[in-house]
Amino acid sequence: MRILASFLIILCMPFIYSSAKSAEEARSYCNDRFGFCVEYPENLFTQVFIPDNGDGVLLQSEDGKYKVQASGSYNLMDWEIEDIYYFTFEDFSRESSGVKNLDSVFTETEYEATFLVDDQLRYYHTFLFADSYITLTIVVPKGEDNILNSLKDEVGLRYNI
């Protein structure tokens, strides 16, 4: 019986180790003012920048190729979700003449959209609340759709407003 128990423990060790390793590789940034946390793969996003006002975080890969940004903002003008989307699109249009919306999905309180801006794919997911909104942005080079889709799954945004 003891041999069987030892065998089972040894058999399970790789699974236990890989779960512990995955937990170590994920890291979180939390923002109390806007009530959100973003979990991200620490092994990819090694550079973490928090602005002076503390309203978000910018995560960047060592080579600057991949970026994630999560931020909150008060909705002082009482904008609708479509307004926030169009302001984002207008910002891109001022930045570049080659802006394309590749896809977008709207509900009453959130939108998801992927834009092609010059040589970058930019994914936006914005959540609208009574007095504020939270935006998660993922930026990857053009042509790296598979990385973008993978990061959409790996980067988690939790909110509790």
147-161 burial, b for 16+ CB within 10 Å, e for fewer?
bbeebeebbebebee
Res 98: pLDDT: 83
Q: What domains are there in the chain, each with its CATH number? A: 26-159 (3.40.1000.10)
Contacts from 71-74 at CB under 8 Å and sequence distance 24+?
Answer: 71/134, 71/135, 72/31, 72/33, 72/34, 72/35, 72/36, 72/132, 72/133, 72/134, 72/135, 73/34, 73/132, 73/133, 73/135, 74/131, 74/132
Res 71: pLDDT: 95
pTM of the prediction? 0.82
| Residues of the chain falling short of pLDDT 70 | 1-25, 161
Cβ-contact 84, 126 below 8 angstroms: yes
Res 125: pLDDT: 97
Res 161: pLDDT: 61
